[in-house]
Structure 1
């Protein structure tokens, strides 16, 4: 296996009006040997373009791409020692699963005994032994995806590249395949670069996550660090489900004023926000840090906010309650025994100790 490095990698395309636009803007990062790194972001953010540049399917406009100890800028994809798994499986329908798994090795003219050994190893890892003589049309979506992964495994590449491989599966199968991919990484000790638009998938699989937006890397961190310490409002709003709430607020000395309430800030937060006294900020607070006043065990009830519930979603293990604070729609993820219905005026408790505070101009998190 090998590390992957981008050094000031930039990619520009020419649009239909013959104007250049930047898909990836000067990326710098290192993916360590045997690391599982996930690129995540909305459509058009540059994550798939980054993956395709690693594969050699797109040529970078400038910068260097390094795999292992080689600069691969001018290497053909087949010479980069990578294997790619696509969203649409890309299996040959007229071939058996055995033939699909061995196809790449046969093209490389590897000895038959070597091919049989690699196919046997991959099929055992992925539980495909009993279906090797079937055709792809006889398999479920999850089984086809396992075959696509197996075809990559037999290549024994330095780097595995996954381009939204679970997008075509239903919700239950996606969960199952996430578990299988995580276990596969542990078993193979592989370097894996994985692209998805699904932040839950990213948080589940990634040892580190690269969050992108409009071609720019916003933050690279572990799932826990992204969740607890988002660099800016984009990362804070993208990571977490339901998404973080943003509430317009004003700082007056040691008080935070929002539409519907004025709260004395915890001492450490007040100190951090002291340069913003007399100024507007944005309060970011996650839905799980907002409680109904009738069910908030172990939480300080000091920071109370009166609001009228617009919608309640009953999800069994929790309820989601939606209400407005000023012009912002706010979501509270509350205990299922919390009382509430559409139109009810209710007090909610905000745990400001877990709040995040952002500069409305730069959208960067205020860290002190």
Structure 2
């Protein structure tokens, strides 16, 4: 069921569009990641959903009602800002947790019982008498999320929690959020973050925002299998799809380092024409190791020098290049593979992705 519905959202300053025709349905109890480059729209959308900005065209519905007409909308929405890890309040943990409940008129007995319940749910060994400013990073995150849980919001909005943080601290934050997933089953969570990779295993769906509009929406697997433009896979998982730019000449794809004849049906099926500039997308998982060239009518082979390799349980990630362009291949092989050797790999035509060389938009199959 839809809890938040955004319809035909536009926002324009005197000289520029900040949002262009944004429409989005957000479902009850889902974790949604809204990601994309900085200052290309997601920050403006966040402020609108928080009612920090009401100067826009279009409509935002919360539980089928326009948020501009909901008097207690802010009471149903919790917000975690991007500096929550640097909290330096003089409150101890108990007082910090109790503050939102006091503002709601809870008595001391109710407050104590509620705090006891939420701390037991997360199974954390946390001293309630300890000052918040003296907590470790992990403890600060736990306390912040416990405070959110005490308010029982229907919608939680999280703002760029990895802002200017090193990878080690980002991993700490993610690990705590994973612990809280099980106790936030009745809350819809929207994460606004430019760092997509850390959130992909947590969030149910991803919204890609670029150039002040939505580029694509879907689960990670859907986005990687059928990207609408090159930007999508590069932003979600740059190792999943490698791109080579070339052109179509006499029925062949020609680029620096790789040339092969395309099947006769390709130009018609993908609306490709003679002389067109195109990118081909090579999915890492679609490469196969070959000992000799074969199946020329169904695919092509390429010899790749291995620059770097990672392997686990006979599965290898091969990092190489074609004509100076980075290429990643994920292959299965029971034998040993070494850096600096060359591998002959096979790729089926049916697994190729085609993108326009100018717009970088997906050249979809007809029909």
User: Matched residues in 1 for 2:108 and 2:264: separation?
Assistant: 71
Alignment of 1:114 onto 2:104: no
Preserved contact between residue 260 and residue 306 of structure 1 (Cα < 8 Å): no
After TM superposition, the score normalised by the length of structure 2 is 0.82
User: Matched residues in 2 for 1:288 and 1:237: separation?
Assistant: 16
Residue equivalent to 1:144: 140
Alignment of 1:207 onto 2:212: no
Preserved contact between residue 304 and residue 320 of structure 2 (Cα < 8 Å): no
Distance 1:49 1:123, change over 3 A: farther
User: Matched residues in 2 for 1:268 and 1:159: separation?
Assistant: 49
Report the alpha carbon displacement of residue 144 of structure 1 after superposing the two structures with TM.
Answer: 0.9
After TM superposition, the score normalised by the length of structure 1 is 0.82
Preserved contact between residue 36 and residue 207 of structure 1 (Cα < 8 Å): yes
Preserved contact between residue 10 and residue 62 of structure 1 (Cα < 8 Å): yes
User: Matched residues in 2 for 1:144 and 1:122: separation?
Assistant: 15
User: Matched residues in 2 for 1:181 and 1:352: separation?
Assistant: 44
Secondary structure class of the residue paired with 1:322: strand
Note the 1:58-97 alignment, pairs <5 A. Answer: 58-73=53-68, 79-89=74-84, 91=87, 93-97=89-93
Q: Which moved more, 1:272-281 or 1:190-199?
A: 272-281
Distance 1:279 1:78, change over 3 A: closer
Note the 1:273-312 alignment, pairs <5 A. Answer: 273=270, 275-290=272-287, 302-306=299-303, 312=307
Alignment partner of 2:50 out of 33, 52, 55? 55
Report the alpha carbon displacement of residue 251 of structure 1 after superposing the two structures with TM.
Answer: 3.7
Report the alpha carbon displacement of residue 215 of structure 1 after superposing the two structures with TM.
Answer: 1.2
Number of equivalent positions: 355
Alignment partner of 1:237 out of 231, 234, 247? 234
User: Matched residues in 2 for 1:110 and 1:171: separation?
Assistant: 35
Residue equivalent to 2:247: 250
Report the alpha carbon displacement of residue 233 of structure 1 after superposing the two structures with TM.
Answer: 1.6
Give the gaps of 5 or more residues in structure 1.
Answer: 14-18
User: Matched residues in 1 for 2:193 and 2:304: separation?
Assistant: 36
Preserved contact between residue 209 and residue 221 of structure 1 (Cα < 8 Å): yes
User: Matched residues in 1 for 2:69 and 2:125: separation?
Assistant: 39
Preserved contact between residue 272 and residue 366 of structure 1 (Cα < 8 Å): no
Preserved contact between residue 97 and residue 133 of structure 1 (Cα < 8 Å): yes
Secondary structure class of the residue paired with 1:125: helix
Secondary structure class of the residue paired with 2:117: helix
Residue equivalent to 2:7: 7
Preserved contact between residue 299 and residue 349 of structure 2 (Cα < 8 Å): no
Q: Which moved more, 1:232-241 or 1:144-153?
A: 232-241
